[in-house]
Amino acid sequence: MGGKQANGLAGGYLDWMEISYLGPEGTYSEEAALGRAEQLAPERPRLVPVATIPAAVGTVEEGDAEEAVVPIENSLEGVVTHTADLLIHQTRLRIRGEIVLPIHHCLVLQRGLALPDVRVVYSHPQALAQCRRYLARRLPLAEPVASLSTAGAVGDMHGSERPAAAISSLRAARLFGAEVADRDIEDVRSNRTRFVVLAATDAERTGCDKTSVCFDFGEDAAGILHGALGELASRDINMLKIESRPDRRSLGRYFFLIDVEGHREDPAVREALAGIRGRASIFKVLGSYPTGKV
């Protein structure tokens, strides 16, 4: 990947490899992007923070970055709907890789503020949800307020006219000079977030892969999903995950997103996906990629 990089969607060229991520610095997305950069060593790609998940996707679509790292799933709160809906409806990018991170949140305070005096807590909605019980127990009088990111929450806290705290990563707290009041405040210690690497093409076979697809059906009928998933079972292919998202065309109709073991070019997986495609009205391979490690 060194030297000039061709981007298959925009037809442009990059003088060096760039990876965009949901910024600013100090977010868990940055930590995942740093992990991706380590996977690509010695290429030493440049990391580019952007303000939103669609902006990260757009940098790759427009040829301004080769890859984008975005969150897609949390072990406590489930699918990141914005990312899932972009993959289903709005982008031709494919999943090239994944990074799974343990997520440990910190509570940070304005300088000199005591915990009982806090009246507002800023953070990303996912982080607020992941610390719901902690906040109810330790800060019952504080109003949770959404920020664009856990790192951005620290800036929101510093700029707040009300006595404020924020939920952030330890890295963000150190980057932005925040006072750490408590660590590991997530309600479940096994908290994990899965990030995906999006690019113009997915990955080659490694022998330890997974494949993500989405599909829906043109009609509602008894056993229709069971029949589609039977294409996997009949070939002894393990399904790792299934999610559903509204199909945006009518109430009560859904897209299904599944992850399966194996690469789309593996003969059994290829046959199973062809079988599902034949049963579905819309079918899309989101990518095949090496299985991420915690």
What DSSP line would sit under 50-88, residue for residue?
ESSHHHHHHHHHTTS-SEEEEEEEETTTEE-HHHHHIII
In the chain, ranges of CATH 3.40.190.10 domains: 5-102+191-199, 106-183
Q: Locate tokens 């930590």: which residue?
A: 31
Residue 182 phi/psi, 5-degree rounding, is: -160, 150
Cα-Cα end-to-end distance for the chain:
25
Handedness of CA 54, 55, 60, 61 (dihedral sign): positive
Q: pLDDT class for 293, splitting at 50, 70, 90?
A: low
Q: Which amino acid is at 35?
A: G
pLDDT digits (tens, 9 = 90+) for 65-94: 999 999 999 888 888 998 999 999 999 999
Instruction: Count Cα atoms within 13 angstroms, Cβ side, for 73.
Output: 16
105 contacts 74 by C-beta, under 8 angstroms = no
Architecture of domain 209-290: 2-Layer Sandwich (3.30)
User: In percent, how much of the chain has pLDDT > 70?
Assistant: 94
Fold of domain 106-183: D-Maltodextrin-Binding Protein; domain 2 (3.40.190)
User: In which region does residue 216 sit, left (phi positive, over 0), alpha (psi from -120 to 50) or beta (all else)?
Assistant: beta
Cα–chain center distance at 2: 26
Confidence check: pLDDT of 4 > 50 = no
What pLDDT, on the 0 to 100 scale, is given for residue 7?
Answer: 46
Q: pLDDT class for 294, splitting at 50, 70, 90?
A: very low
DSSP state of 26: T
Reported in sequence order, the residue ranges of the chain that DSSP labels E, i.e. its strands, are 5-6, 13-14, 18-22, 46-50, 67-74, 78-79, 94-102, 106-109, 120-123, 143-146, 164-168, 179-183, 192-199, 209-216, 239-246, 254-261, 282-290
Query: For the structural domain made of 5-102+191-199, what CATH number should be given?
Result: 3.40.190.10
pLDDT digits (tens, 9 = 90+) for 203-222: 999 999 999 999 999 887 88
User: What's the CA gap between 292 and 290, in Å, rounded?
Assistant: 6
What pLDDT, on the 0 to 100 scale, is given for residue 272?
Answer: 98
What pLDDT, on the 0 to 100 scale, is given for residue 253?
Answer: 83
Residue 52 phi/psi, 5-degree rounding, is: -140, 165
Burial class from Cβ neighbours inside 10 Å (0-12, 13-18, 19+) for residue 270 reads middle
Which comes out higher in pLDDT, residue 221 or 258? 258
Mean pLDDT, rounded, for 254-280: 97
Cα–chain center distance at 204: 21
What pLDDT, on the 0 to 100 scale, is given for residue 220?
Answer: 78
Confidence check: pLDDT of 245 > 50 = yes
In the chain, ranges of CATH 3.30.70.260 domains: 209-290
Pairing, β 254-261 against β 239-246: antiparallel
Query: Would you mind telling me the total number of residues written for the chain in this entry?
Result: 294
Bridge partner residues of 123 (DSSP): 146
Confidence check: pLDDT of 6 > 70 = no
What pLDDT, on the 0 to 100 scale, is given for residue 148?
Answer: 86
pLDDT digits (tens, 9 = 90+) for 34-69: 999 998 877 778 999 998 999 999 999 999 999 999
